[in-house]
Structure 1
């Protein structure tokens, strides 16, 4: 069966620079290929559709013209073509007009990430070997034993943390032993769940982190608004070197702290629900929910 595994990455500064280069290369190839396909479709809509294999054939001359593309994992650029090809297929298959043509990827609004399907090797308890990046520190790699990695995605979260998401093929999980017990669950407001045997599970509580998240969300919005006003002021006054939003460190700090507290709340909620559902599944054979 296929499952998803997510690990935290700890790249050094050289690897961080490489990752940003690879993020940009994927975006660059998408935009170049999309621009070519748009012109082709605009000039003659009856031309045969370009398959992902034909798009991959164009990567070789593109790498000669732009040598920096060689710094990326070649499989990631091929997957960009595959995703673009699928987007065009969805556009042509749609008869309702709700699916539009693929759009260009923006550096400012696109989540930094790239997907590859090359071989990922376990180099130690807390180290992996990734193509082009070399040996990179990660969280515990024990979960990757006896699994077949199909493809992987390296991404940068708004909190500033790097993650490796893996699509892996694993063996079927072992079945739990029968307990002969049954239970009914009533989902409440004051309590998260009330069992038919009288047991209650309290509602999830992360009030401190939720409050900090709200505080930094307000600071983020206020600082971004002020930074935007200053940028517009420089633009109107035709300053020689106008400031950009990215140049305001206090806004960048608020953005990261806001994202970190929001991620903290989400992780705690997920952990609480996983522990609760795992306990219920191990204790009861039949579970009825309102």
Structure 2
């Protein structure tokens, strides 16, 4: 029972639900390309499960002081997992991911999905270790957004299809919506305590809220223009979802309470995920 509890605490460092979302995006990329090959699906899903788990385990190590303030119940600040254990987990996940990429690479001549997945792995590593891209406002948000959208979807797609044929309007719309995520506002107190220069700290809360809302509005605009140009009517389902995310993000300029920010953040994550799934399956069914 004790071993099971320890394993559960270590697993919590990888944010299992978020890691599942990342893997799902990679599998969706394979499916919308028209492929149903089990090996391709497994490679995409496993590779991005490991990339995401590596990202979150490394980030948990670096953000331990922030989490002491913002999320004291997390495994590291609460003492449920030791620092050495967490560091070993991050290393094992990173090496496992490299192993998967090397093994798959030995069986294929298509280097594009390998290049995309390896680039994503390096970005998430350098997000947390020097040069610590997490400390570059807005760019850091974009890296996290690309981990769940651009890289997994394009990797899944390019396993069997040319990258230039990818549905870029859909990928860009979902990426921009995810880029407008309000995570930095959830961790604001902890980041201030640690001295991390996130977007709301660098620009001020109202200006940062306006910038993130602008990204969400750009997603809305991309979807609307694509609807006019292509008559892909599944946009009629997602545009209201995108508009809701935009309105919730725009409310940040009104300085809402911490509880309101947490609720809107969780709600917006669900809506972004739903938008990506609907657009993906819409493309599979209609094109």
**After TM superposition, is the score higher than 0.5?**
no
Q: Which has the larger strand fraction?
A: 1
Q: Which has the larger helix fraction?
A: 2
Pick the structure with greater CA Rg. 1
TM-score normalised to structure 1 length? 0.29
